[in-house]
Amino acid sequence: MPLSAPTTVPVSGINLGLAAGVTALGAEVSFLGEDLSGIGVAAAAQVTFTTSLPPNPAILLQFAAAANIATLTNQLNPLNWITLGATANLDLTAQLGIINGLITIVAPVAAAMEAGLSTGGLYAWSYAGTARGFGTTLATATQYGIGGSGPTGTVNAVIVAATEHSTWATFGAGCYVGTSDDEDLGTATTLSVLTSLGELNGFNLNTGVLSVYARIALLLEELQGLAAALQIQIDFTLGIGLPDPQAILDIEVSVSLADILVSADFAAQIDWVNAKINLIAALIAELQVQLTTTGLTVWTYSGTAQGLGSEFRSEVLNGIGTGDAGDPTYGLVVAASSPVAWSAFGKIFYTG
């Protein structure tokens, strides 16, 4: 496919990984909301527990001395526990359903981010100058090939451009654009500066995705760990893997009420979770401002390395869109000769 027709899109239409990251961050807020719910239940349980204390310490010793192994065995019979644990099982199963639902949201986002960020073999240039100069300088830069690909070697590429500095600076907050966003060229310029950014990988280029990837990967680990723990609890309510009652009685009874009553500062936990939610909400709001910014023009390309520059030179000879050839323009070009690398990068960045 030669150079595509230009398309005007918001940042979210190009930085696909960052847009998906906002969805995953929303899942983290839901996860923290479940934390708040759990803390509230635990706090209520502690109130109920502590109002009945302290019992007579002799009760524990009497129990240990008088326990009837036959009675205790019957009470701990897994068949009886199925009935006793029915309510708990339903509650835990509902929690597991929520967590698994969040995993289905977060897991593909984390996988796409990892694939896109780790891919290499990407060659990039940034640009600041006139619209016409963008095409001319790119034609010169690619006439002998791109990377290890000769002039007739096949490459895939994406070109992103903006004519407003504010738009480009916002785009540059989530994507590496070299120094092209350093200076506002105003309403007129004579510059035509194409800068090679060299061979990069997804980590280098998509800085916006990189900034949220660690958080999302950690969230996925937490969700998967919690799902496993909930499954163990569900198995327990069904009587699976219960201990031998005799083993329980064989354990030396040495219980201190101080050990039983662990005073948890639930108010502090709630404040901490709320603070995390507020931080994530602020991050989401900041990212959404970036993602909804409009005014970017994008082209995709598949063809010879030499053809990329020559076709784009013809495309912007008289300007971009309804603009003029001399309009200040900011741009980024990313290309790769490996279809595998290009496909992986496409998981976090628009490649057509």
pLDDT tens for residues 320-342? 988 999 999 999 999 999 999 99
Q: Cα separation of 342 and 302, whole Å?
A: 11
- Which percentage of the chain shows pLDDT scores above 70? 72
pLDDT of residue 231: 80
Helical spans, DSSP H, in 162-265: 165-172, 202-205, 207-237, 245-250, 257-260
pLDDT of residue 288: 87
Higher-confidence residue of 225 and 351: namely 351
Is the confidence at residue 90, as pLDDT, over 80? no
> Residue holding tokens 């061979």?
199
Is the confidence at residue 70, as pLDDT, over 80? no
Mean pLDDT calculated for residue range 263-281: 67
Number of alpha carbons in the 13 Å side-chain half-sphere of residue 64:
13
Is the confidence at residue 103, as pLDDT, over 80? yes
Q: Tens digits of per-residue pLDDT, 278-296? A: 778 888 888 888 899 999 9
- Which percentage of the chain shows pLDDT scores above 90? 48
Mean pLDDT calculated for residue range 168-192: 94
Query: Looking at the DSSP assignment, which residues form a beta bridge with residue 149?
Result: 146
Mean pLDDT calculated for residue range 245-265: 43
Mean pLDDT calculated for residue range 63-73: 46
pLDDT of residue 61: 46
Mean pLDDT calculated for residue range 236-251: 50
Is the confidence at residue 51, as pLDDT, over 70? no
348 secondary structure, DSSP code: T
Where does residue 202 rank: exposed (0-12), middle (13-18), buried (19+ CB within 10 A)? buried
Is the confidence at residue 246, as pLDDT, over 50? no
Is the confidence at residue 69, as pLDDT, over 60? no
Is the confidence at residue 73, as pLDDT, over 70? no
Banded model confidence at residue 275, pLDDT cuts 50, 70, 90: confident
Q: Do 245 and 251 meet the contact criterion of CB atoms below 8 Å apart?
A: no
Mean pLDDT calculated for residue range 5-13: 93
Q: Do 138 and 130 meet the contact criterion of CB atoms below 8 Å apart?
A: no
Q: Tens digits of per-residue pLDDT, 202-215? A: 999 999 998 899 88
Banded model confidence at residue 254, pLDDT cuts 50, 70, 90: very low
Mean pLDDT calculated for residue range 141-156: 93
Q: Tens digits of per-residue pLDDT, 27-44? A: 887 777 766 565 454 444
pLDDT of residue 114: 93
Q: Which residues of 271-304 are buried (b: 16+ CB within 10 A; e: fewer)?
A: eebeeebeebeebbeebeebbebebbbbbbbbbb
Mean pLDDT calculated for residue range 164-181: 95
pLDDT of residue 298: 96
**What is the overall mean pLDDT for the chain?**
79
pLDDT of residue 267: 64
Higher-confidence residue of 301 and 67: namely 301
Q: Looking at this protein, which amino acid is placed at residue 68?
A: N
pLDDT of residue 83: 47
pLDDT of residue 100: 83
pLDDT of residue 44: 47
Give residue limits of the domains in the chain. 7-12+120-201+296-345, 24-115+209-288
